[in-house]
Structure 1
Amino acid sequence: MATNPTPTNDTELLHLCGQVVQGCLELESETGTQDTTAALLQERLRSAHADLAEVEKHKAERSRLRRELREWDMESERVLGRCRLRLAALFGNGFNDQWEAAGFPDGSTMVPEVFAKRLALLAQLAAYFTAKPEHESQDMRATTAICEMTHQSLSGLRADVDHHKSILQNAVQKKNATLKLLRQRLRRVIGELGLVLAADDVRWRRFGLNPPAGEPLPEPVAQVTLTALGQGSLRVQWPPALQALRYHVQSRMMGGEFATRSTVPGTEALLQDLPPGEFIEVRVIAATAQEEAAPSPASAALVG
């Protein structure tokens, strides 16, 4: 049904399904829809909400693990830096056989830039200090115990991040499968409504849907920007709204009633002859030839 496409955005899909469920519950006796229609869609909707919540939970856990991994990786660089300074005092700054025996890779005495090489160097330094305890330095915190502990923490967190990546992928796959079933159920409900409601029946709106024979309802204007120009004038600007053919610009004195000041086809209007020194609230209503969206949030400005 071209006038009621199935949303591809997850949030929009759940919102529409909630509206359809509510419409089914409220108008079940009027429309003659089966009493299982709302229940089946609601069941799919609950499953989708649960699966989406599970995905968000795993995303939060992945972020926590990644953050902890970054912190430990920074600590590993500090540990390796201290070990490097300790060994430089023993071996000199130039690379030689002693640096190679300690495990420094690539013919360099610098702390490796690659994560895997830093992880490997921690293990090699732990083994080196175990074999050469006289080269440890408690004062410089370059010891077997510190290298081992840092290596274990870093490698353990890396394994946790990789494992949780797999868990999240499975949760996303499950969520996508559930949303696919939800979309299929939604299409069946819309198809059933098409059998019991006329194409121009306004009750389609009660389900969050557009009457197939009518105009699509325009999207509301998201926000309004006001610029005081002085001499009792305000410039009103707003982003375009989907399906809108024109816009009603309404204003009021603080505490008063909104009244339409102008109707324009574009996304800007000039309000004049306003009382200087007064706060004015302005909102915009997107409209088609026959339909109007909900008003935008109101914005206020002091008239100059």
Structure 2
Amino acid sequence: MSNNEIPDAERSLLARGEDCADGCAVLQDTLPLKLVREADLRLILTSLKGSPAATPPVLGLIYQCKQAEQALAAANNERKNKDTECKAFLTSARTSLLPILGRDPSPEWELAGYANAPAYSNAVPGTQEGRLQCLSALAVYLTQHPTYEVPAGGPRPEVTATLALALHNQLSTCRTAANSASNAQNDALTAKRAALQSLRRTLIALVDELQLRLPDDDPRWEVLGLNIPANPRPPEPASDLTLTSAGLGRILAEWEPGTRSDDDRILIQIVGVDADYREYGKSGGDGEELIKNLPPGATVKVKIIALNGSLEASSGPEAQFVVV
């Protein structure tokens, strides 16, 4: 494909797809293009990016993937919080049972759910799975020994079979929800990756066909956002650079790749330390970079220079951010 390699990085691939779709709209009938046309590219791009104006609106696979990722994070957080509540209850229950069952492991502790493999002990189980089973056993044990219960409303934390069973069921529900969310996130990611791969294969097919339809020095290559094979020019500058905090001493830089770019130089300047911009690294063409090991409280300037092989854009977007 000469110097029109199709990028792997998501942002660059989507930008290339949009440019080629726009170019196909202009040239597909005059060339004419037969293998890949604008409608082929628009169909894949819409499946990925969505179409809010459509009736009904199309939620793209990229949005669905992010939505599934957020749902998984929320479900995992719910499970974690519920498990913390269960652990606190089991700790209170153990404290309440110590004067009755003694400090040493025993068959009674085992009946109460506090027998942990491989070390035989009566400690609160160290795993979430262990705590789930302990709650179930404890609910049965307290049902058989109601005088061991501590009712709600007193000076000590409630320890009852009813609460043990309720917490068991709640934790089980949270675990099921988290597992379902994980499966949904995996399905969404698989679908997005398949669509991105389809877009990449379609763009490769388009470039292959263009090599048959256009001379290597024809300027119409650039109408499709591609290099003129015999005379590649520097890419258009990147745009829309935004900087956000990514934790202590870290900044996430995100930008829109420039037309015909296949990589980017990332330049940074720590105000008051660096006299000018200095090289931080290259992005690999994915339109984002996590900039690490920055001094907290410092003002950092970032500049992005789009690359097309060894050719550089004449300018690039700049932004600055105060590091957390």
TM-score normalised by structure 2 residue count: 0.69
What is the Cα deviation at residue 103 of structure 1?
A: 2.1
What is the Cα deviation at residue 158 of structure 1?
A: 1.1
Indicate the RMSD between aligned Cα atoms, in angstroms. Answer: 3.3
Query: Can you give the 5+ residue segments of structure 2 that lack an aligned partner in the other structure?
Result: 50-59, 236-262, 285-300
The answer on whether the counterparts of 2:8 and 2:200 sit within 8 Å (CA) in structure 1 is: no
What is the Cα deviation at residue 207 of structure 1?
A: 2.1
What is the Cα deviation at residue 135 of structure 1?
A: 0.6
The answer on whether the counterparts of 2:111 and 2:138 sit within 8 Å (CA) in structure 1 is: no
Amino acid at match of 1:223: L
Aligned pair in 2 of structure 1 residues 186, 282: CA closer, same or farther (>3 Å)?
closer
Task: Quote the Cα distance in structure 2 between the aligned partners of 1:54 and 1:227.
Answer: 39
The answer for the alignment partner of 2:278 in structure 1 is 237
What is the Cα deviation at residue 222 of structure 1?
A: 3.3
Counterpart selection for 1:190 from 190, 207, 211 = 207
The answer for the alignment partner of 1:176 in structure 2 is 193
Alignment of 1:1-304 (within 5 A): 1-28=1-28, 31-33=31-33, 37-49=37-49, 50-106=60-116, 107-138=120-151, 139=154, 140-215=157-232, 217=234, 219-225=263-269, 234-239=275-280, 292-298=312-318
The answer on whether the counterparts of 1:217 and 1:292 sit within 8 Å (CA) in structure 2 is: yes
Aligned pair in 2 of structure 1 residues 202, 237: CA closer, same or farther (>3 Å)?
farther
Write the deviation string for residues 15-46 of structure 1: whole angstroms up to 9, x where unpaired.
21011112222445665446971111111111
Q: What percent identity do the matched residue pairs reach?
A: 26
What is the Cα deviation at residue 9 of structure 1?
A: 2.0
Q: Report the count of equivalent residues.
A: 260
Query: Can you give the 5+ residue segments of structure 1 that lack an aligned partner in the other structure?
Result: 244-280
Task: Quote the Cα distance in structure 2 between the aligned partners of 1:62 and 1:288.
Answer: 38
**3-state SS of paired residue (2:104):** coil
Amino acid at match of 1:201: D
Q: Whose helix proportion is higher, 1 or 2?
A: 1
What is the Cα deviation at residue 224 of structure 1?
A: 4.3
Write the deviation string for residues 161-205 of structure 1: whole angstroms up to 9, x where unpaired.
222322333333322332232222212222232233321233323
Task: Quote the Cα distance in structure 2 between the aligned partners of 1:105 and 1:81.
Answer: 14
What is the Cα deviation at residue 112 of structure 1?
A: 0.8
Task: Quote the Cα distance in structure 1 between the aligned partners of 2:309 and 2:47.
Answer: 39
**3-state SS of paired residue (1:88):** helix
Task: Quote the Cα distance in structure 2 between the aligned partners of 1:136 and 1:60.
Answer: 40
Write the deviation string for residues 125-184 of structure 1: whole angstroms up to 9, x where unpaired.
011111111110023211111111110011111122222322333333322332232222
Task: Quote the Cα distance in structure 1 between the aligned partners of 2:22 and 2:203.
Answer: 13
The answer on whether the counterparts of 1:225 and 1:236 sit within 8 Å (CA) in structure 2 is: yes
TM-score normalised by structure 1 residue count: 0.73
Task: Quote the Cα distance in structure 1 between the aligned partners of 2:86 and 2:305.
Answer: 58
Write the deviation string for residues 190-238 of structure 1: whole angstroms up to 9, x where unpaired.
2232233321233323322222223464655433426669xxx944423
The answer on whether the counterparts of 2:135 and 2:164 sit within 8 Å (CA) in structure 1 is: yes
The answer on whether the counterparts of 2:35 and 2:205 sit within 8 Å (CA) in structure 1 is: no
Write the deviation string for residues 44-103 of structure 1: whole angstroms up to 9, x where unpaired.
111133222222221111111111001111111001001001101222222223222322
Task: Quote the Cα distance in structure 1 between the aligned partners of 2:302 and 2:75.
Answer: 47
Q: Which structure has the larger Rg over C-alpha atoms?
A: 1
Task: Quote the Cα distance in structure 2 between the aligned partners of 1:289 and 1:38.
Answer: 27
The answer on whether the counterparts of 2:267 and 2:281 sit within 8 Å (CA) in structure 1 is: no
**3-state SS of paired residue (1:223):** strand
The answer on whether the counterparts of 1:215 and 1:290 sit within 8 Å (CA) in structure 2 is: no
